[in-house]
Amino acid sequence: MKHRQPLLKHTQIIRLGRILDMLYTPKELAREIEVTPDTIYRSYLAAGLPHVRDRKGIWIHGPAFVSWAKLTISKHRRKRAPLPEGTAWCMRCNVPIAMEAPQVKYANRYIEIMQSHCPHCKCLVNRARAKQPAARPQ
């Protein structure tokens, strides 16, 4: 692709705050962030948006979408200081927190979504990182 537009516009980034910790269908997610379902399928899923597939179709985990969106957007912006390894941003406390015993909640070919709980407010925090190579037996 020669002319790569940012995948999310500023107004859509603001709408990320509406996303809940639940599974969305592409249609529901499209409605929340006010894009067409086609944008979800052709643009976001094609660009590596984490999702799961079952007999009923495609499901997108809300926080995984938000983490992915921010990671994607950050590619299009000037680099800002990244959070140190092992930390995440608590959306409720609005501070960086140390991730304690983070679990990989979702992984695709490119990224992993790490999840743990904020030590202050106990809410779930998510952090996306580049997929770690699987440990191979020697």
**Could you give the CA distance from residue 57 to residue 108 in angstroms, rounded to a whole number?**
17
CB of 90 to Zn ion, least distance (A): 3
CB 116 within 8 A of CB 105: no
Does residue 118 bind Zn ion (CB under 5 A)?
yes
Q: Among 75, 76, 120, 131, which residue sits at the site for Zn ion (rule: CB under 5 A)?
A: 120
Stretch that binds Zn ion, among 37-45, 47-55, 99-107, 118-126 (CB under 5 A): 118-126
| Token pair recorded at residue 116 | 């743990």
Q: Is 66 exposed, middle or buried, given 0-12, 13-18 or 19+ CB atoms closer than 10 A?
A: buried
Compare residues 114 and 118 and give the one whose CB is closer to Zn ion: 118
Which residue among 13, 73, 93, 124 contacts Zn ion (CB under 5 A)? 93
Kindly state whether residue 90 participates in binding Zn ion, applying the rule CB under 5 A.
Answer: yes
- Minimum distance, C-beta of residue 121 to Zn ion, in the bound complex (Å): 3
Contact (CB, 8 A) for 74 and 9: no
**Strand 124-130, strand 95-98: pairing:** unpaired
Chain residue whose CB lies nearest Zn ion: 118
Residues that bind Zn ion (CB under 5 A): 90, 92-93, 118, 120-121
